[in-house]
Structure 1
Amino acid sequence: MKRAAVVGVVVGSIVVTAGAAAAIWSLTRPPSIHTAAETYLNALSTGDFDAIEPMLPEGTTQVGTLEAAFAGASARIADISFETRADGSVTADATLAGEHATIGFALTQHDGRWVLGSDALAHLEVSTTMGDSVRIGGALVPAGIVRLLPAEYPVSAAPAGIVRGEATAAVTGESSAAVALEASLSSGATALAQEQIEAYAGVCAEPATTVPDHCGIVVPWAADLSALDAVAFRIDRLPSVMIAADGATFDATGGVLIATARGTALDGTAASFTYRAEDWSLRGSIRFDGDEMVLAVR
């Protein structure tokens, strides 16, 4: 009787252990390709980047830019149906901004998880007539070819508030998309340029021992002094900025500047002379660098 009881315990132990192993294997095995595809497509439809990030193609760079752009998408896919194939390819039919969209991508297993192929990221080529960058969704990116997750995106010229120009782009990865922005200056561009020129003019008008370069200032002190010791300035009226229609250059004109030069007079005595310029002007070029407008005075 004792032997039979021992045998029963051992057999029972084997059965329980085998059942536990099966449960553990079931819990730790990677999801099916169907489940992985469903997870990705649902995340695209809800804007869940946290669910997408672990599945991004190997070697994906600028993940922060990809996330910011996706967060600012104007429309996401909906009404999704899809099929998977044995080779890991997936084809999904959906609607995007009210239009039919086909989304194709591949999934492969890597370190126990499903990873998207590089074809999952769509290519959008963006050009702009002003500046070197654009804003796509919530991301500022250089103009050119940008890789994005499938969605519809607002595309706008940069710098925001200075250059205007808007478009939308629906990208799915099935075919490349392109946007050409016809950018123009906004009403705020001149005001911002005026602020920059006024700050620059203030530096030009600081006391100095020589007449400053690149400030549009000419002081004819040599007509009255043999040597200049110092020069002081007073701004009576700041130059007023006008920007060229193409945004490439500016003219700041109509300024009034008073200069007092101190030094050695032609007869060898100490003296000072005051000069007034009623046509003080600053001119130069403009470039739009990322999200900034940069003025360069000639």
Structure 2
Amino acid sequence: MKRGAVVGIVVGAVAVVAVVVGAAVWWSSAQPQTVDAAAREYLRALEEGDAAAIESLRDAPLDDVTRSAFASADAYIVDPRIARVDEDAARAAVTADAEIAGERRKISFALEEAEGEWRLTDDIPVVRIETAFGGSPGGGDSVWIGDALVGTADDVGLLPAVYTVRAAPRGILAGEVRAIVAETGATVELDTSLAADAASLAQEQLDAYLDGCTAPAAAVPDNCGIRVPWAADLASLERIAFRVEQYPALRLADDGASFEATGGILVATATGQTRGGELASFTYRAEDWAVRGAVRFTGDEMVLSVD
């Protein structure tokens, strides 16, 4: 009997403790979130590179570019500390500081209260990238910020962190610069140049274009640098076939704005009606096949426009 009574008391005690713990959990979860707690959670998420945690403090998801750039940032803030919280009704301005790129820098952000929760506002630091090519205007219409492709005419929202801005298109233009984002945004200047493999990549693109130019056809193609004097021997042309013996060798202009490709060797065989009404074929060989045109860099691509 005594043994049974002891067991019953122990079971009852556990049940009572469970009820008390449950009540404590409910009381804690029912308390309004403090502005200080929300601010510390945001700073912790910045320190850990936790975009999901930052989004949980917002009413809307982060912009795709902002999220992608933050996920691929070079470094995040270190040792954040809240310096001041100015709370006015349902809004609070938070001033903090943290180590970013080896220096302590100010970080400011705002929170708004709604239904017992403090939420981040949308005023993320804005960065604009300006590019040049060899110190002159140019350099493409886009850059890479981490893994995010960004237009140079766009104002980009970036969370406090350290980013590497790289020239685009990759492999065509070279150049990079570090962007340190803290309290406010900034304008980042990126000087670009032709990458070592730019000409060879452009050559591959041009060769593919010229393959289309030299497919069998019923007429001499335009914008291909091809001249075939078939009219000297034929009254009308029915078809023409080409054989490329050597593609024109491409050279990009020093300013990256144009190209010329020279020294190509092309053989063309034209078939048609002679002036006597007979079907005949004549072969022509050109050892000065050349094409020229403009170059532009858009997005992550280089576009050659043949004159």
Output the amino acid matched with 1:124: V
Q: Give the drift of 1:264.
A: 0.8
- Name the residue aligned to 1:37: 39
- Name the residue aligned to 1:11: none
Output one character per residue of 1:181-236: Cα deviation in whole Å (capped at 9) or x when no partner. Answer: 11111011111111011111111111111111111111111111111111111111
**1:128 pairs with 2:131:** yes
2:48 aligned residue (41, 46, 49): 46
SS class of match (2:87)? coil
Q: Give the drift of 1:169.
A: 1.3
Q: What is the CA RMSD across the aligned residues, in angstroms?
A: 2.1
> In the aligned structure 1, how far is the partner of 2:22 from the partner of 2:244?
87
2:213 aligned residue (201, 204, 226): 204
> In the aligned structure 2, how far is the partner of 1:233 from the partner of 1:297?
19
> In the aligned structure 2, how far is the partner of 1:67 from the partner of 1:168?
18
TM-score (norm 2): 0.85
Q: Give the drift of 1:28.
A: 3.5
> In the aligned structure 2, how far is the partner of 1:112 from the partner of 1:198?
65
Q: Give the drift of 1:109.
A: 2.2
TM-score (norm 1): 0.88
Count of matched residue positions in the alignment of Structure 1 and Structure 2: 279
> In the aligned structure 2, how far is the partner of 1:219 from the partner of 1:122?
60
What are the within-5 Å matches in structure 2 for residues 145-294 of structure 1? 145-173=155-183, 175-294=184-303
Q: Give the drift of 1:52.
A: 0.5
Q: Could you say if the C-alpha distance between residues 226 and 178 of structure 1 is closer, same or farther in structure 2, counting changes exceeding 3 Å?
A: same
Output the amino acid matched with 1:80: P
Unmatched tracts of structure 1, length 5 or more: 1-16
Q: Give the drift of 1:25.
A: 4.8
Unmatched tracts of structure 2, length 5 or more: 1-18, 133-138
Output one character per residue of 1:76-121: Cα deviation in whole Å (capped at 9) or x when no partner. Answer: 11122103232211110211111120011111124553221233x1
Q: Give the drift of 1:60.
A: 6.3
SS class of match (1:211)? coil
- Name the residue aligned to 1:80: 80
Q: What percentage of residue pairs aligned between the two structures are identical?
A: 49
- Name the residue aligned to 1:109: 113
- Name the residue aligned to 1:71: 71
Output one character per residue of 1:137-193: Cα deviation in whole Å (capped at 9) or x when no partner. Answer: 2211111321110111111111111101111111113x3311111111101111111
> In the aligned structure 1, how far is the partner of 2:204 from the partner of 2:269?
26
